[in-house]
Every structure is written in structure tokens, then in C-alpha cells.
């Protein structure tokens, strides 16, 4: 099929192209768009240069899938142009937050709820990066032992704020005792941690924290899971880390949880060593380590979860959704031929 990409010049857009090539997604053609300030550039893909056009004048005709590579925390182009792409016959896969909690839009993590892809009405939402890696780590446990409570603290890389976030950290680290004030982060990020990602809202929680609550419940089809999140920005370029505490509703042992994690799709589990963001650049897996029981509460555990936020937390998850759509299309075609 012909694939379109809106936001082709951003960090997530560039990573989507990289993942499409690595996973050998079958393309009949490629159309690239970006904002007017980035239009006119050319991007090399599979040995060929593709022009980047302005999304304001986008022609989506012929596209089977259109990715919208929105940056987390920004209002995405999908609000203005997704319906135009859908009307042209494309299925939109949106990395932005604008439609995630819309009741008619599936929110997909392929390791957790691949069947929800069939519910789409032309638009599928890619979850928040931190939600994705947590759900990948927890879904097999939830299916077996019914998770009833999650307390998560995240340590999120600056690339989660897009290229501007990366630039801000690089500039600040080059200046001793810097007092740079910028619009990307609410405090200086170099040699610092910031316990705020997006604006504070209900009950003093940030928008990023509420995303983890509501998105987790939607993906796992369970509004009774009690999720409490604290999201923190740290001076790491790429790779989000999480401390995840969870309680199960059914009796289980540490060995049983270990056995599930060792076989969980998309998970690399290590019961002896621990993982850090520096060790997993360009990986599509979710890394789990430091699994341990709560010392006082039965059926309660803590683990350390790390993943590449630009890949599994954004681009790779979106391409995996596209693969689900493609496989479904192939299955339909095969069924028609048999009939």
C-alpha cells in the first residue's frame, strides 16, 4: 500500500521511517508532509530521495495508511487533517494525544489488545510512551492474576518533548551554572530532575500522569484498575525508565510472575542484572529487571521497566499497528479468494 507520514521531519517521524525500513513494511509508495516551515526538504528512504510537502495542501488520495507523528504534549496536526485523510480512504494512526480517550477510537498496544484494531472507524490512536512500556510489562500478569492496583513513578527522557527538548538539554549542558529559561521545560533540565510533565490539572496531578491512569484502563479494558502515577523529566536523551509497583487480585508468587515475564511478548526480563536507558538505544523491546516482592503486603510486587521512548514508545508501536491492519487486509483478501 501507499503510506503517508505527517510530521516527517520530527524525531518521531524520522524514527517511523527508520522502523518501516528495518521491518520491511511493504510499500507501494511513500508520501511525506510536514509544517510549512519544513516543507521543501528531501528525505532519503531506501536509497531514494522523497520530497516533503506542506501538510496544509496535503493530498491523501491513494494512501492506505497515514501516520501522524505528533510530539507528546503538543496539539497534533491530526485535529485538522485526520478527517481529510480518512475521507480519502486512509486509516490514520495518530501518535498524538488528541483522540486517545475518544470512545470511538481504539487505543492500541499490539502485545496487549491487538483485537481492538478491528473496531476502528478510520482512526487508531497510539498511546502515551510511558503507558506503552508499562502495559507491555504488565499485560501478561493482568491476564493471569488480575492486577487491581498500580503505583508508577517515571523517569522520562528529554526526547519525549521532541527535538526542542533534546536541543534544550544539549545547550544547557554546554554552559556552566546555566540559568537558561526556555519554553520547553518549566525548570532547567541539565543536572536536574523536574516532577512535572505537561500542565497540572485535576487534584494536582499533571496531564501526563492522568494519561497513564486513563490509557492503562482503556487498553486493558478494566476501569477498576487503580493507577497512581508520578511523572518526572530527567536529563537523559532517549529512553524512559519506570518504577512500577503493582498488586494482584489473585494469589501468586514471585516465581510465577518471573515465569510470565520471561515469556511475555515484547519483554526482555533479567532476574539478576538491571537495565538502564544507555544500554538499549534503537531497541524495540521493553526491558524488565529488579523484580521483587513487597516486604509486607501479599500479592504485591515492584519492578524496574525501561524502553526506548522514540521506538517502542512511539514509532515502533505505530508501525506494529500498521502491520496489524495489513495482516487483517491480507486475511480478508484470502477469505474472498477462497469464497
Catalytic (active site) residue 120: no
CA separation for the pair 139, 260 (Å, rounded): 10
Q: Tens-digit pLDDT profile for the chain (339 aa)? A: 999 999 999 999 999 999 999 999 999 999 999 988 888 899 999 999 999 999 999 999 999 999 999 765 556 789 999 999 999 999 999 999 999 999 999 999 999 999 999 999 999 999 999 999 999 999 999 999 999 999 999 999 999 999 999 999 999 998 866 666 656 899 999 999 999 999 999 999 999 999 999 999 999 999 999 999 999 999 999 999 999 999 999 999 999 999 999 999 999 999 999 999 999 878 999 999 999 999 999 999 999 999 999 999 999 999 999 999 999 887 666 556 555
3-state secondary structure 194-238: ECCCCCECHHHCEHHHHHHHHHHHHHCCCCCCEEEEEEEECCCCC
Catalytic residue, candidates 129, 142, 178, 252: 129
Marked catalytic residue, from 63, 120, 142, 240? 240
- What is the rounded end-to-end Cα distance, in angstroms, of the chain? 24
Query: Cα–Cα distance between 303 and 253 in angstroms, integer?
Result: 14
- The full set of domains in the chain, from first to last, is 2-98+314-338 (3.40.50.720), 130-308 (3.30.360.10)
The Cα–Cα gap between 23 and 110 comes to 15
- Could you tell me which of 50, 2, 54 has the C-alpha nearest to residue 25? 2
Residue whose C-alpha cell is 509486607:
296
Nine-digit cell at 108? Answer: 492500541
What does the block give as the cell for 116? 481492538
**Contact indicator for 248, 299 with CB cutoff of 8 Å:** yes
Per the annotation, the verdict on 240 as an active-site residue is yes
Q: Which residues are within 8 A (CB) of 318 and not within 5 positions of it... i.e. 6 or more apart?
A: 16, 67, 69, 93, 95, 126
Take residue 279 and report the three cell numbers written for it.
Answer: 544500554
Amino acid at each position: 500500500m501507499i503510506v503517508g507520514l505527517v510530521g516527517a521531519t520530527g524525531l518521531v517521524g524520522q524514527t517511523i521511517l527508520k522502523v518501516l525500513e528495518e521491518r520491511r513494511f511493504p510499500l507501494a509508495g511513500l508520501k511525506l508532509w510536514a509544517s510549512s516551515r519544513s516543507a521543501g526538504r528531501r528525505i532519503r528512504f531506501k536509497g531514494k530521495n522523497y520530497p516533503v510537502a506542506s501538510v496544509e495542501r496535503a493530498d491523501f488520495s491513494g494512501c492506505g495508511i497515514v501516520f501522524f507523528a505528533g510530539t507528546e504534549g503538543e496539539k497534533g496536526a491530526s485535529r485538522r487533517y485526520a478527517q481529510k485523510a480518512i475521507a480519502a480512504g486512509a486509516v490514520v494512526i495518530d501518535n498524538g494525544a488528541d483522540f486517545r480517550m475518544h470512545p470511538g477510537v481504539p487505543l492500541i498496544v499490539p502485545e496487549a489488545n491487538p483485537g481492538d484494531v478491528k473496531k476502528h472507524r478510520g482512526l487508531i490512536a497510539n498511546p502515551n510512551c510511558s503507558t506503552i512500556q508499562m502495559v507491555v510489562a504488565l499485560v501478561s500478569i493482568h491476564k493471569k492474576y488480575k492486577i487491581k492496583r498500580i503505583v508508577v513513578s517515571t523517569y522520562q527522557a528529554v526526547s519525549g518533548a521532541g527535538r526542542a527538548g533534546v536541543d534544550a538539554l544539549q545547550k544547557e549542558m554546554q554552559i556552566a551554572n546555566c540559568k537558561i529559561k526556555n519554553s520547553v521545560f518549566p525548570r532547567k533540565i541539565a543536572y536536574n530532575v523536574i516532577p512535572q510533565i505537561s500542565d497540572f490539572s485535576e487534584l494536582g496531578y499533571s496531564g501526563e500522569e492522568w494519561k497513564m491512569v486513563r490509557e492503562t484502563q482503556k487498553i486493558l479494558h478494566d476501569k477498576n484498575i487503580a493507577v497512581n502515577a508520578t511523572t518526572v523529566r530527567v536529563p537523559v536523551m532517549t529512553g524512559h525508565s519506570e518504577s512500577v509497583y503493582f498488586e494482584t487480585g489473585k494469589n501468586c508468587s514471585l516465581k510465577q510472575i518471573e515465569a510470565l515475564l520471561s515469556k511475555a511478548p515484547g519483554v526482555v526480563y533479567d532476574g539478576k542484572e538491571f537495565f538502564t536507558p544507555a544500554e538499549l538505544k534503537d531497541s524495540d523491546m521493553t526491558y524488565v529487571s529488579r523484580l521483587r516482592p513487597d516486604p509486607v503486603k501479599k500479592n504485591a510486587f515492584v519492578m524496574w521497566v525501561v524502553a526506548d521512548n522514540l521506538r517502542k514508545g512511539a514509532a515502533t508501536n505505530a508501525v506494529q499497528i500498521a502491520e496489524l491492519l495489513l495482516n487483517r487486509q491480507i486475511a480478508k483478501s484470502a477469505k474472498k479468494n477462497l469464497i
